[in-house]
Amino acid sequence: QSVLTQPPSVSAAPGQKVTISCSGSSSDIGNNYVSWYQQLPGTAPKLLIYDNNKRPSGISDRFSGSKSGASATLGITGLQTGDEADYYCGTWDSSLDAGVFGGGTKLTVL
């Protein structure tokens, strides 16, 4: 059971927009910054978003992040088939004194 809660799957058509939620508590998301990772099939995870809403160099502006209270959201616009992947949120849990991830969300681009 992951500390952070994500929907197991989301889907949308090419060109559409999708959002992925990540729900936590005051000991994790509520008081710390959130990051998001994309894991394409058979590859290592890659950092997509850090500090709630910042994109590393080279990450498309089709990806965005936001946070409100103890929840965070990843948004992807202009969906492409190449976006099909697993997406994970992550943060620090102050009560565990450890990092935590969400359970992951599988994105299908129909």
Q: Residue numbers of the site for other proteins (CB under 8 A)?
A: 2, 31-33, 35, 37, 39, 43-47, 50-51, 56, 86, 88, 90-92, 94, 96-104
Q: Are 92 and 99 in contact (CB under 8 A)?
A: yes
β-strand partners of 68: 71
Q: Which is nearer to other proteins, 77 or 94 (CB)?
A: 94
Q: How far is the CB of 109 from other proteins (least distance, A)?
A: 20
Nearer to other proteins, 78 or 96 (CB): 96
Q: Give ∠ CA 44-29-56 in degrees, rounded to 5.
A: 45
Residue with smaller CB distance to other proteins, 56 or 78: 56
The answer to whether 22 touches 4, Cβ cutoff 8 Å, is yes
